[in-house]
Structure 1
Amino acid sequence: MSLSGTGEPTDGLTPPALFPAPALFPAPGPDRVAPAPRRAAPPPPADPDDSARQLPFFAADAADPSLADLAGLLAGPGEVVRMGGTARLSVVVDAAWRVHVLVAELASRGVAATWEATADGRHAVRTSYARTLKPLAVAWLRGAAKRPPAGFHLNGRRLRLWLAAAGVAEPPGFLLRLGAADEECWEPVGGALAAVGLSGALLGPGDGGPAYRIAGRRRLARLAELVGDPPPAAPAEAWPGPA
């Protein structure tokens, strides 16, 4: 069963039920004028005593979507593979609403995606093989192994994708799940979280992970600030809100 990047089923079947598909924003075509880029507001002066107030220009709505944002999926459990001069991104998610959100997010970046149910009741979301995804694969792959590139960083748009794919509310905090086979990614990804004010506790596989637990009023408020409002398909309890 597949779902196209336009949000319409490619075989006449419906996408996973429970939540309506959100509005999609197709990439500009020959008859479509691209919207003017939004200008991010300048950052306020740094406050060395309050890291949670720093870097608001990293928030999800600070710039238009780009293919570079897909690194947020790879920070979590997403995978990328190469084939010739192309690459494909995939991620397995545990809820139908995540399929709707990810397909819409990918479509807004001009990337077609399909999905199919897995044997364990989850959903595998995959992009088409595309030349535009090759730079992402080149940056993240060392042979067949996934590694964050030098200088990897997180921002609101990347965190939004990671949260949509693998963020789990675990009161009083949030878990950001990692790839089970990506142990060499965990530490640098944790460093990237800390750099945007989201220092988290790393949970190993025996403790309900692998995942980073984001906890504390200030950090949760920072997470909500960075990822922005919940997507239309996301349950309210599945998305961080303002403190």
Structure 2
Amino acid sequence: MSLSGLGDSPAAQPPALFPAPEPGDPAPGTSASGTSRRRGGSTQPGPAQTEDAGRQLVFFGAEAAEPAVADLAGLLAGPGEVVRMGGTARLSVQVDAAWRVHVLVAELASRGLSASWEPTEGERHAVRTSYTRVLKPLAAAWLHGQAKRPPATFHLTGRRLRLWLAAAGTPEPPGGFLLRLGPDDAECWEPIGVALAAAGLAGTLVSPGEGGPAYRITGRRRLGRLAELVGGAPPAAPADTWPTPP
């Protein structure tokens, strides 16, 4: 898998911290071209209201619908940012590992969005799309002035969770998983926690002073549900970085 790199230069190479997967090695539930095989309907669910309702969201996991631009709300639930320019918008996110770059560039490409990346301070990488009208509705839903806020109808699906996890999900031994949040998005944390709970993934908010901000997901049942919703690990993900069914 090649990345467009800095300024889409032909000479740019992907980050060397982790090798790119072989082009012929598709992710679970996808074809060799990177497009998902449809399994079930593509209708998006509304927020579940109970633990049992949350369990039903397994049927709307990451492999149950075709990729859609609306899925990128999962990146905004985490540390992703969106900015507007005229009638266009651009989405960006900083990640802490090169394998995440490979996964996110592929996920964006599957939604018809070209992306570039560049190294930033602290051995991190910034992944960003080009400015495009395609992202204008997402920006309109999430931006209040310059501030990021989840819309009142925000809910989490398997594909949104998969993108969030790919960008900012971290295993926490011996038995937990952290879904990291935007450090400057304090007003988003509570409604995002509500969306997690509605998906059957009620988590504990970890404050910045305790190693967050993030939501900590614990418990065999919740971790199993997370694994079912996000689907199999991407080929680029190192071992033990992705939740697995119990």
Given the two structures, how large is their TM-score scaled by the length of structure 1? 0.87
Aligned mate of 1:65, from 64, 67, 79: 67
Could you give the per-residue CA deviations for residues 73-124 of structure 1, whole angstroms, max 9, x where no partner exists? 0000000000000000000000000000000000000000000000221000
CA 1:52 to 1:136, structure 2 compared with 1: closer, same or farther past 3 Å?
closer
Q: Kindly, what percent of the aligned residue pairs are identical?
A: 70
- Give yes or no for contact 2:41–2:64 (8 Å, CA) kept in 1: yes
- Give yes or no for contact 1:180–1:210 (8 Å, CA) kept in 2: yes
- Note if 1:152 corresponds to 2:154: yes
After TM superposition, the structure 1 = structure 2 runs for residues 22-171 of structure 1, keeping only pairs within 5 Å, are 23=23, 38-40=39-41, 50=52, 53-171=55-173
Indicate the SS of the match to 2:63: helix
- Give yes or no for contact 1:81–1:87 (8 Å, CA) kept in 2: yes
- Note if 1:20 corresponds to 2:23: no
Runs of 4+ in 1 over 2 A off after TM superposition: 2-5, 21-25, 34-43, 48-55
- Give yes or no for contact 2:80–2:94 (8 Å, CA) kept in 1: yes
TM superposition shift of 1:19 = 2.1
Whole-Å separation in 2 of the counterparts to 1:186 and 1:35: 31
Q: What residue in structure 1 maps to residue 229 of structure 2? A: 226
After TM superposition, the structure 1 = structure 2 runs for residues 144-223 of structure 1, keeping only pairs within 5 Å, are 144-171=146-173, 172-223=175-226
**Residue type matched to 1:4 in 2?**
S
Whole-Å separation in 2 of the counterparts to 1:41 and 1:85: 28
**Residue type matched to 1:53 in 2?**
R
- Give yes or no for contact 2:99–2:236 (8 Å, CA) kept in 1: yes
CA 1:122 to 1:59, structure 2 compared with 1: closer, same or farther past 3 Å?
same
- Give yes or no for contact 1:169–1:239 (8 Å, CA) kept in 2: yes
Q: Size of the alignment, in residue pairs? A: 229
Structure 1 gap segments, 5+ residues each: 26-33
CA 1:49 to 1:169, structure 2 compared with 1: closer, same or farther past 3 Å?
closer
**Residue type matched to 1:196 in 2?**
A
Whole-Å separation in 1 of the counterparts to 2:227 and 2:162: 10
- Give yes or no for contact 1:52–1:218 (8 Å, CA) kept in 2: no
**Residue type matched to 1:149 in 2?**
P
**Residue type matched to 1:16 in 2?**
P
Whole-Å separation in 1 of the counterparts to 2:126 and 2:63: 27
Q: What residue in structure 1 maps to residue 3 of structure 2? A: 3
Q: What residue in structure 1 maps to residue 30 of structure 2? A: none
Structure 2 gap segments, 5+ residues each: 27-34
- Give yes or no for contact 1:203–1:210 (8 Å, CA) kept in 2: yes
- Give yes or no for contact 2:100–2:237 (8 Å, CA) kept in 1: yes
**Residue type matched to 1:231 in 2?**
P
**Residue type matched to 1:156 in 2?**
G
TM superposition shift of 1:56 = 1.8
**Residue type matched to 1:20 in 2?**
A
Whole-Å separation in 1 of the counterparts to 2:79 and 2:40: 31
